[in-house]
Structure 1
Amino acid sequence: MSIGFIGAGNLARAIVLGILKKGVFSSQEVSCISGSGKTARALSLEAGIRLSSSRLELLNQSNTVILAFKPQHLDTITEEEGNAAKGSLLISVLAGRNLPSLRSAFPLARNVVRVMPNTPSRIGKGVSAYCFENPPTNDDREIVESMLGALGASYEVNEPQMHIVTAVSGCGPAVFFQFIDFVAQAAETHGLERSLATQLAIETGIGSLELMKQSGQLPSELVDEVVSPNGVTHALLESLKSADWSETIHKGIYKAVNRSEELSRPAG
């Protein structure tokens, strides 16, 4: 069994460290290559994995291939490189590159898998969605689910659902980060140190999300538990309601889905 990473940036690093930590693969079974070679050398030294001399060498030596480079670089895959993936399982984390475009670049791969992870994967708290081009063998499903399990939770979806998945879980971390920063900014204007306000907001978020996960209650039910009529929380939520933040979220998701669909269309 061997797995090769074309691309060695932050996401590839998260996957490599995750699968090694969980024992999904041994370091001797993992290799990498990157465009400049700099990130691949760094990852090879950090994780003790093999450094390939070229994409072609990696493709020829790997049973499973992970595409983890910039999406536009898929177009630089040569015919020889594409054919070298004959019989391999191809797993892509390239945003906006759909299954047909991946199959076109690697026509002889035994199956193609598209994955949408998110940045918390680097601490094992990510969530990934994935879809197979063709019904997988039990072995191929185990490879994919074991790899993604090393990063956090994972869910199988249909490819058309990837656009909304991108908006919800792919973009989602940035929405939470931005929300925490806005709360900290507002608290600072009322005399609370920015660092303390940020920490309070972070811990509140972690606790609230864990409560929601463990309780099994609907988010709306948990909201009701916090709100007292004409109380402080009621005043805050009424202000947000008057600003139509529900519609703001709907519009944001709509724009994100549209952009994801645009990116998936062939250039021309």
Structure 2
Amino acid sequence: MDKNLAFIGAGSMAEAIISGLIESTIIDKQQIMITNRTNHQRITDLKQKYRIDSMRDKQQLIEWSDVIVLATKPCDMKEALASIQPYIEERHLIVSVTAGISTEKIEQWIGRSAPVVRAMPNTSASIGFSATALCTGTHALEEHMRIAKELFDTIGTTVQVEEKEMHLVTGISGSGPAYIYYLVEAMEQTAIESGMSPETAKQLIHQTVLGAGNMLRETNETAAELRKKITSPSGTTEAGIQTLAQQNFQQVISKCIYAARDRSIELGE
């Protein structure tokens, strides 16, 4: 890809995307530039780790770039955009990976007809396994979506959605890896408390999660169908599933997703 990418913000999501892009070799390291507001040590660390460069001069940075990736915290987005707004041109593609902030609001803060694509990846981007949802703003054309899709396809899979779905996407796939890690934490803790070595627990549980994920991806069966296949009547799995049902496991997961969705809405406001 012959596009220069400027990352505004250097947090964990920016790093995950940068790592995935470099690993994919779709883009050269010299085509990536980073900057942030105050944490200069963070910039230094990323430069050393990925052999990329940074630029403090916002005007030079924006003039150099073709794609501007907004990777700030939601509360910092308006200020970050204000610092580069005078230099943004309609030739730029603005890609936001910041949770909660709508394309409409970004367009208002930009104040000109630059195309905006909003993306919601997750941190699995760093190893090429992100699930990324994309939606377009008012001025984004098919070509802009193609560029955004090409970028995020290198770090996992992409799907285009309506913007009204993005808050729910945040609660499902954006925050989703953390829910899985939390489940794994609980399984590991139980195994260790029951006398299993941490190394054995880790090996068994991590491979179990990996195997289940691959079964979901590579078979044509639903999660419910796969669950039923290994839940024999009066068997061990049924005993475990019944306990989850008694503890309202599905309702807890629903509340978890809706809480993340609602927080995304609050951040956007």
What TM-score do you get using the length of structure 1 for normalisation?
A: 0.91
The partner residue of 1:62 within 50, 56, 65 is: 65
Q: What residue number does 1:7 align with?
A: 9
Distance change (3 Å), C-alpha of 1:171 and 1:32: same
CA contact (8 A) 1:93 1:114 kept: yes
Residues 160-239 of structure 1 correspond to what in structure 2 (within 5 A)? 160-239=164-243
For 1:83 and 1:253, locate their aligned partners in 2 and report how far apart those are by CA, in whole Å. Answer: 38
Matched, 1:86 2:89: yes
Give the letter for the 2:195 counterpart.
Answer: G
Aligned residue among 127, 132, 152 for 2:131: 127
Deviation at 1:154, TM superposition (A): 0.9
Question: How far apart in 1 are the matches of 2:198 and 2:158?
Answer: 35
Q: 1:244 aligns with which of 244, 248, 252?
A: 248
The counterpart of 1:44, out of the listed 44, 47, 60, is 47
Structure 2 CA distance for partners of 1:163 and 1:191, relative to 1, 3 Å: same
> 1:83, 1:107 within 8 Å by CA — same for their partners in 2?
no
Q: Which amino acid is the alignment partner of residue 268 of structure 2?
A: S
Q: Deviations over 1:81-138 (max 9, x none)?
A: 2131112111111111111221122122520111111111111111111111036444
- The 2-side partners of 1:257 and 1:64 are apart by 28
Matched letter for residue 54 of structure 1: D
Contact persistence 2:7–2:69 (CA under 8 A): yes
Would the alpha carbon gap of residues 181 and 149 (structure 1) be closer, same or farther in structure 2, given more than 3 Å must change?
Answer: same
Q: Is the 8 A contact 1:85 1:109 kept in 2?
A: no
Structure 1 residue ranges without an equivalent (≥5): none
> Offset at 1:78?
6.3
Q: Distance in 2 between matches of 1:116 and 1:33?
A: 20
- 1:116 is matched with which residue? 120
Partner of 1:25: 27
Give the Cα separation in 1 of the matches to 2:163 and 2:142.
20
Counterpart AA for 2:25:
G
**Shift in alpha-carbon separation, 1:77–1:246, aligned structure 2, 3 A:** closer
- Alignment counterpart, residue 71 of structure 1, candidates 65, 71, 74: 74
Q: Counterpart amino acid of 1:86? A: E
For residues 150-199 of structure 1, what are the alpha-carbon distances to aligned partners after superposition, in whole Å with 9 as ceiling and x for unaligned?
21111111111011101110111111001011111222232212332232
SS of the residue 2:99 aligns to: coil
Distance 1:109 1:70 in 2: 24
The range that moved more, 77-86 or 151-160, is 77-86
What is the CA–CA distance in structure 2 between the aligned matches of 1:80 and 1:69, rounded to whole Å?
13
SS across alignment from 1:91: strand
- 1:77 aligned counterpart, secondary structure: helix
Q: Is the 8 A contact 1:99 1:113 kept in 2?
A: yes
Aligned length: 265
Between 39-48 and 112-121, the greater mean CA deviation after superposition: 39-48
Task: Indicate the SS of the match to 2:84.
Answer: helix
Secondary structure, counterpart of 1:4 in structure 2 = strand
C-alpha distance 239-79 of structure 1, shift in aligned 2 (>3 A): closer
Q: 1 CA distance for matches of 2:148 and 2:193?
A: 47
- One-letter identity of the residue aligned with 2:152: L
TM-score (norm 2): 0.91
The structure 1 residue matched to 2:36, chosen from 34, 37, 48, is 34
Instruction: Report the Cα distance in structure 2 between the residues aligned to 1:191 and 1:23, rounded to whole angstroms.
Output: 44
Name the CA distance, whole Å, in 1 between partners of 2:147 and 2:102: 20
Question: Could you tell me whether the CA contact under 8 Å between 1:120 and 1:126 is conserved in 2?
Answer: yes
